Amino acid sequence: MDVLVIGNREDPERGYVGDALADRGATFREVWRGDLMTEDLPAGTPDVVLVLGSEWHVYDPEVRPAVEREIRFLRQAAAQEVPVLGICFGAQVLARAFGGDVRHDPGGGEVGWYTVDSDDPALPEGPYVQWHSDVFSVPPGAVELARSPVGPQAFALGSAFAVQFHPEVTPQILHRWAVGGHATISRWGLDRERLLAEADERAEASRGHAEALVEAFLAGEFRR
């Protein structure tokens, strides 16, 4: 299974989602968003596309060339019915690609551990790590599958499946985010040590949630 991964060099980890894909025979090719400022994505059709999160904002004019290339590629992949899984920023790019709106959340988004309200038994409700300040609207024709008080948390459209939360996050990933995101943690009034302790405590459950999500995604259970 050839999996094309779109991400940022500064935040490249596939985490539990990558582990679940690898356990099912995936090999990975990586494309870095920074390169997409001047280069197109590689030709050819992968078996699966995994679109990771980012500190970028979809609507930021400074990264528009890369975002537009990513959008064009994702539209083409969806048209060819390639399974596409978008996480956080990846979900926002998918929303924008198919006519949804992406904007800054005036409440600041979500940072920390949260459950989601899921309509689909194949999509566990978590808790998951959230780390975002932007929110999206569900694109026309897509089906909203989960939500939280700030907005949609998952949608499906054809072969594309998008989640705002982070099923991939391991304790190691969260530790790196917590170190680099000290100001964000302070702004939210979070206890950094408690946040990281929860990652250790929830590690087995988090891996299980990612396993279930990936299994259902590859089986086509989220196709709409």
For 170: left if phi > 0, alpha if psi spans -120 to 50, otherwise beta; the answer is: beta
Check residue 180 and give its pLDDT: 84
Out of 110, 168, 198, 211, pick the active-site residue: 168
Read off the pLDDT of residues 106-126 as tens digits, 9 standing for 90 and up.
Answer: 999 999 999 999 999 999 999
Q: What is the spatial distance between Cα 28 and Cα 9, in angstroms, rounded to a whole number?
A: 15
123: in domain: yes
| 203: in domain | yes
Q: Which of 88, 110, 198, 211 is catalytic?
A: 88
Per the annotation, the verdict on 88 as an active-site residue is yes
* 153 belongs to a structural domain: yes
Place of tokens 């528009």: 64
14 by DSSP, 3-state: which?
coil
Q: Is 166 tagged catalytic?
A: yes
pLDDT of residue 146: 98
Alpha carbon distance 87, 207 (integer Å): 16
pLDDT of residue 57: 98
H helical segments located in the chain: 15-23, 64-79, 89-97, 171-180, 182-188, 192-201, 203-218
Q: What angle do CA 204, 92, 6 make, to 5 degrees?
A: 70
Q: Domain for residue 223, yes or no?
A: no
Report the 10 Å Cβ neighbour count for 178. Answer: 18
The answer to whether residue 98 sits within a structural domain is yes
> Looking at the DSSP assignment, which residues form a beta bridge with residue 7?
32
Q: Is 168 known to be catalytic?
A: yes
224 occurs within a structural domain: no
Range of the domain at 199: 2-218
pLDDT at 182: 78
Contact by Cβ (8 Å): 112, 197: no
d(CA 83, CA 1): 12
120 in a structural domain: yes
Q: Please count the structural domains in the chain.
A: 1
CATH for 49 = 3.40.50.880
What pLDDT, on a 0 to 100 scale, did the predictor assign at position 58? 98
Amino acid at position 182, single letter = H
Stretches in the chain below the pLDDT threshold 50: none
Is 34 domain-assigned? yes
Please pick, among 166, 198, 209, 211, the residue that the annotation labels catalytic.
166
Tokens of 184: 């964000």
What's the pLDDT at 162?
A: 98
